Amino acid sequence: MEENPYAILFEPVQIGPVTAPNRFYQVPHCNGLGYRMPQAMAAMRGMKAEGGWGVVCTEEVEIHHSSDLMPYIEGRLWSDEDVPPLALMAEKVHKHGALAGIELVYAGHHAINLYSREAAFGLRSTRVPGGYGPGQSRRMDKEDIRAARRWHREAALRAKRAGFDIIYCYAGHNLALAMHFLSRRYNDRTDEYGGSLANRTRFLRELIEETKEAVGDRCAVAVRLAVDELLGADG
């Protein structure tokens, strides 16, 4: 009998300390529900788990009020008050035996911040084309970098409390501060966070290491990375 080439898709796979029941993996994607309609968001994600997906993830989830993309609706994990709505989604996904993943993000110079009116952290002080609105970021100093790392770690711990199994360090789609550090287009720093590839990856490596230290005993740590920005020599 000819071997089924797709059989492996239905086999369990271990991801760090957790095991997905199969290889069907719904990566993070936005849906317009987010923090505004948490019950609808949980029901929709739960429906995917009921349909057989082994891993079901959130959309990108903002980790701080200075990374606000209003009027675009996403997830929020700014404070402890945001834990219960996200826990509802994890519960719905777990009900059908799937793993729940969450994608943490600080949007950097793309953040509009209509809610907080604060200037988002960025690699440059000038407005970078391609953002979501008229806001302007401010150039990060060392204390800002430490703050962003702390916010990410705190959000990871909250995500763990909410019941998530996989926690993302997000550096893709030109939407995340971690990706802006990687990019020669945006990162013109001359300190240990800029210049060489090793320096430009430093911030992301710190996020990964600190997230793993904070939650790696129970949660898998994933990285979403843009390997090609389609920007040619600027990418």
- The structure tokens listed for 172 are 């893709």
Strands (E), the chain: 13-15, 18-20, 25-26, 55-62, 75-76, 99-105, 121-122, 138-139, 166-171, 220-225
Question: Which pTM does this prediction carry?
Answer: 0.93
Beta carbons of 109 and 127 less than 8 angstroms apart: yes
Q: Is the pLDDT of residue 46 over 90?
A: yes
Q: Are strands 13-15 and 18-20 parallel, antiparallel or unpaired?
A: antiparallel
CA distance readout (Å), 99 to 24, 26, 88, 142: 11, 10, 13, 36
pLDDT tier for residue 135 given thresholds of 50, 70 and 90: low
Q: Is the pLDDT of residue 55 over 70?
A: yes
Query: Average pLDDT over the chain, rounded to whole?
Result: 91
In this predicted model, which residue has the larger pLDDT, 216 or 72?
216
Q: Specify the DSSP class assigned to residue 123.
A: S
CA angle, 28 then 14 then 34, to 5°: 20
pLDDT tier for residue 114 given thresholds of 50, 70 and 90: confident
CA angle, 146 then 69 then 190, to 5°: 35
CATH class of the domain comprising 82-225: alpha beta
